[in-house]
Chain A
Amino acid sequence: MLFRGSIAKPNLYRATFTNSITNRLFHTVYHADIPILDESIFENKILKKAYEDHVPETGFTEESIKLAAKGLNYNLDNLKGVFNFTSQSKDLRVELIQYHLKSCRLKLRNYHNDANRLQTETERVRFYLEKRLLENKPIIKYYHQALARMILPSNLTESLNELHKLSDDISFYSGDKSNDFAWYSKRFSLSGVFIQSELFMLNDRSNNFENTIEFMNDKMDEVDNMAYAYNSFEEWAIFNGISTVNLIKSQLARG
């Protein structure tokens, strides 16, 4: 019933971000992945130019997008109209912010070789978090605008979705193999650390954001300690549970 007729047409995914409001997707090496960002789309070309050339000076504003469109020789009086048809939010600034989030998430894929040299999962998680935080560097001056817009109720689902995808990507790249509730706790704590570090970063004036990285590492230490404490308790409880049952059984067997 679910598959009556042919629905497998990849070009369904043409629209800019409309498909981003799905859950994290089934992934396998034998099938092509749907790209995080399709750079060949007209809207994304404008956003790319705006993000790279104008956001560092003019911030996450409509002004940046207008400048970019002008720079690309698109004569667009009705930019809003163009994005209205293809974007979820119908807000140019949100599209720009989403472009920032997605392109930074995409760039994490460049670091796999370096990350794989690290021994443990938590080291790799910290490595990816650090790289992701430092990608905020060029636009950090205007990042408060972006954060303020992201937490508006109308944009919150979209931003949380993107946050979850980031922590899911980082967990997957770092070799997470959890099969139970740990899957959720890992991603939630990772998202928490990331948000706290970003907020810290807004006011960080240290050289190359050393303090932010240190803050992130401290928070990750806390998470790791919590996980260690919980796992130790669970191990202790299971061991004692089994011992108790075996003790009772042996006493019963003696009659």
Chain B
Amino acid sequence: MSLILKRSQSTIPKLPTHKPFSKAQQAYLERVIRVDQAGELGANFIYAGQYLALSHKPELKPILRRMWDEEIHHHNTFNSLQTEYRVRPSILTPAWKAGAFIMGVATGLLGKEGAMACTEAVETVIGNHYNQQLRTLSNGFTDIQELDSESCSDSKTISDLKETIKVFRDEELKHLETAVEHDSHEARPYWLLTESIKLTCKAAVFTAERI
């Protein structure tokens, strides 16, 4: 406890600490926040739909509930980042809500295997997407100078964002593992189902980044 206090006291910097982002960097960060917020909103609503369709099965209920709670936490985190950083949310938010909820209910009605195959497909796309973002955040933001020293470093904004995305990516990949453990490969038609969901997710990512 005292260690934490000490740390927080010694690291209160004079704000701002870094020079402005370039326009391309700002545009990229806006995209990251917007698409991640929309994505977590989608995940939240997919689980809501699956929970609605499957919560009457006692062996599935706690698993779905645990994953859903984590998605709610992710969604809230990106919501607060969006307001803090003054990023415009995706204008299609109502469509994402409806689409994700319908996808959740539909795959839930296919049964346990269908729901798990949906989770597997979604988390595959999201995991890759987060990795891509981490790569760009590591490579594209190395040239921002500190205000007092001229040397380049990550500001707290960038390092916090990277940390958040890393944690979330690991949690999403854990969901993927859970889905595979619970027979996602038994879903029929497995290939058609997962590939079409992956395609839908990629199209949604492409759109949410832009509008």
Interface positions of A (Cβ within 8 A of B): 2-3, 6-10, 12-13, 19, 22-34, 168, 172, 176-181, 183-184, 245, 249, 253
Contacts and interface: CB of A to CB of B under 8 A. Distances in A.
Contacts of A245: 52
A19 B89 CA distance: 22
Contacts of B26: 25-26
Contacts of B91: 181, 184
Interface stretch (B139-147, B176-184, B199-207): B139-147
B139 A31 contact: no
Interface string B74-112: 000001001111111101011001000000000000000
A15 to B, nearest CB: 13
A26 B89 contact: no
A33 B141 CA distance: 16
Q: Which of B21, B52, B141, B157 has the most CB of A within 10 A?
A: B21
Interface in B20-43: 20-30, 33, 37
Contact of A2 (B21, B28, B157): B28
A249 B53 CA distance: 10
A219 B52 CA distance: 42
A61 to B, nearest CB: 33
A249 B15 CA distance: 55
B140 A30 contact: no
Contact of B25 (A7, A13, A168, A184): A7
A163 to B, nearest CB: 15
B16 A26 contact: no
7 pairs of A and B residues whose beta carbons are closest in the complex: A3-B140, A8-B22, A30-B155, A180-B93, A26-B26, A27-B86, A28-B157
Nearest to B105: A245
A168 B24 contact: no
Centre residue among A29, A177, A184, A245 by max chain B CB count within 10 A: A29
Contact of B83 (A29, A179, A181): A179
A32 B18 contact: yes
A179 B40 CA distance: 12
A174 to B, nearest CB: 12
Of residues B20, B29, B136, which shows the largest number of chain A Cβ atoms within 10 Å of its Cβ?
A: B20
B196 interface: no
Given A179-B82, A245-B52, A29 B19 contact: no
B20 A34 contact: yes
Nearest to B83: A177
B15 A29 contact: yes
A179 B37 contact: yes
A26 B86 contact: yes
B66 interface: no
Given A27-B86, A245-B52, A32 B79 contact: no
Given A7-B23, A31-B16, 6 more contacts: A8-B20, A8-B25, A28-B157, A30-B155, A180-B94, A181-B91
A182 B25 CA distance: 27
A3 to B, nearest CB: 3
A8 B144 contact: yes
Nearest to A180: B93
Given A3-B24, A3-B140, A181-B93, A30 B156 contact: yes
B23 A12 contact: yes
B7 interface: no
Contact of A32 (B22, B84, B86, B147): B147
B19 A31 contact: yes
A184 B94 CA distance: 12
B17 interface: yes
A151 B141 CA distance: 39
Contacts of A30: 15-18, 155-157
A9 B87 CA distance: 22
